[in-house]
Structure 1
Amino acid sequence: MAGAALRVAGRQLSQHSGSGVPILLRQMFEPKSCTYTYLLGDRESREAILIDPVLETAPRDAQLVKELGLRLLYAVNTHCHADHITGSGLLRSLLPGCQSVISRLSGAQADLHIEDGDSIHFGRFKASLLLIYSPLSFPFPGCAKTLYHSVHEKIFTLPGDCLIYPAHDYRGLTVSTVEEERTLNPRLTLSCEEFVKVMDNLNLPKPQQIDFAVPANMRCGIQTPPS
Structure 2
Amino acid sequence: MIAPLALAACSQGEPEPTPTPTPSVAQPRTLAAADLDMETLGARIVGPQGPEVETILSAGNREIGKMVSFVACPADVTECEPGEMPEGTVYTYVHQVTLSDDWTQAEQPAQGPEVVESPPTLFRMTQQAHGFTRAVGYSTEQAVEALGGEDAISITSDDGRIIWRVVEGDGWKPGTTISFWWQSTLPPAGPADAYLLEIDGNQAIALGPFPAEENPVAETPAS
TM class by shorter-chain length? under 0.3
Instruction: Give the TM-score of the pair, scaled to structure 1.
Output: 0.26
Instruction: Give the TM-score of the pair, scaled to structure 2.
Output: 0.26
Give the number of the structure whose residues are more often strand, by fraction: 2
The structure whose Rg is larger is 2
